[in-house]
Amino acid sequence: MFSKGTKVHLIGIKGVGMTALAQILKQRGLEVSGSDTKDKFFTDKVLKSSGIKPKVFSEKNITKNIDVVISSGAYYFSGRAMGDNLEVKEVLKRGIKILTYPQAVGELSKEYKTIAVAGSHGKSTITAMLGWAAQRIGKDPTVIAGTRINAWKANARVGKSNLLILEADEYREAFLNYSPNVLIITSIDYDHPDYYKTPALYYRAFKKMVDRVEKGGVVIGFGDDVEVANLLSYAKGKKLKTVKYGFSKRSDLVLENEGVFHDKHIRQAQCKQLFHGLFNKGKKLRGVLKFPGKHQIANAGAVLATAKSLKWPVYRTLDALKEFSGTARRFEVLRKYKNGAIVIDDYAHHPTAIKKTLEAARSLYPKKKIIAIFQPHMFSRTEALLEDFATAFSDADEVGIMEIYASAREKSGKVSGRTLTAHAKEHHRFVNYLKNSAEAKKFLNLATKKDAAVLLMGAGDVYKLTA
């Protein structure tokens, strides 16, 4: 299907995953075209560097010579058009072969030995870490990540080996299009309530994913998470190999935090975080990361557990992790001020991610004020996890809550940023409602006049406040 010379058109090409796929198909010798909105994203630069110029949505983009169309799930899902995208309607009218993004990646992955990174949190970072480490030790992988990897200035890499490392998204059971040889499960923390109506249905999707692992494959998981531990037991019952990493002494790879220290020579968060790992009571492995937070050590643990399982050189993997320069929108320093204030951007959009990000900031900047500006993402998520969001800001000295960022999936809902602010005020003394971007920018400007670490958090466009 994806042989050299095939003409493929991507609808919604500016999406992070779609951009990654476009780069890979282009480098494999396919003729790639694509379309999207006029809005600007970081992926515009990535596409330009790959020689791909997106067009604005129009049915005229669907030409007679197109062999295959790949669509973002925002516009096509389960055999039908989502919304009023004219291109999808034209494709269906003409009977041109059309795939969703995960279906296309699933087809592509059949040609590779695949490592899939799944879980509620940390997927993008682990995919990037693992891809970087695999490249550094000479495995020459193809990588598809959900964010821009700083060292590559792109969210994808095309290698010449048969190794594919990909981020496996659980939304709408997308990851069930893959049959990996190695499955990493980072965490299971209820999300996407617009699709999974109960936590049980959410968990069941991950159980189905374990069923997709190839015979003789490996399931690697963060065993401190009870639901992940249950899945590891399930995988073992299916005669799959399992590796449990975590901070618990019962883990196959036991991790321990040795502290975080400032280092002005490191661009991203200007710190070094030391840790060590112990495989089955063996020799202690010492590691260094350029980012704060216990969750980052867990991410590194997933990489080390994978390296050990695949018989990669573990010490060289540790060296690669030491040099890993991070990804976009993951504790990314946007601006520093002469008075000591610093603005950090993070993708945190789930209560657990907010807590972990603020904990990391508190550990790195114990003497600074920690100020959070949060832009909720999706009405259904905000409504379903309202109380969890309300209690997620305990490590912040001050909080500003913006209006909900409406995605292509849903334009309105029963709750608002004001609703979340009211609930958060029941648990925190200093919470402010920021009804528009002007108020948010004013709040940010006041925050940076203090010796503060200001965290912009959310999956929308909160990072634009510094523009």
Q: Is 121 annotated as a binding residue?
A: yes
Phi, psi of 49 (to 5 degrees): -65, -20
- Distance of alpha carbon 386 from alpha carbon 384, whole angstroms: 6
Q: At a CB cut-off of 8 Å and minimum separation 6, what does 166 contact?
A: 105, 109, 114, 115, 116, 117, 127, 143, 144, 145, 178
- Distance of alpha carbon 183 from alpha carbon 241, whole angstroms: 10
DSSP strand pairing (80-81 vs 76-77):
antiparallel
CA dihedral 223, 225, 230, 234 (to 10 degrees): -50
**Nearest C-alpha neighbor of 302 from the set 187, 212, 213, 202:** 187
Question: Which residue do the tokens 């480098």 mark?
Answer: 27
- Distance of alpha carbon 371 from alpha carbon 462, whole angstroms: 14
Helices (H) and strands (E) in the chain, counts: 14, 23
Angle at which helix 294-309 crosses helix 123-136, to 10 degrees, equals: 50
Asked if 165 and 115 count as a contact pair (C-beta separation under 8 A), the reply is yes
User: Three-class SS of residue 252?
Assistant: coil
Q: Is 120 annotated as a binding residue?
A: yes
- Distance of alpha carbon 292 from alpha carbon 277, whole angstroms: 17
**Nearest C-alpha neighbor of 11 from the set 82, 94, 111, 113:** 82
Q: Is the dihedral of CA 457, 459, 462, 464 positive or negative?
A: positive
- Reading phi first (left if > 0) and then psi (alpha if -120 to 50, else beta), residue 79 is in left
Q: Is 125 annotated as a binding residue?
A: yes
Q: At a CB cut-off of 8 Å and minimum separation 6, what does 92 contact?
A: 80, 81, 98
**One-letter-per-residue 3-state SS of 292-320:** CCHHHHHHHHHHHHHHHHCCCCHHHHHHH
Asked if 393 and 428 count as a contact pair (C-beta separation under 8 A), the reply is yes
Rg (CA), the chain: 22
Binding site per annotation, positions for ATP = 119-125
Binding site per annotation, positions = 119-125
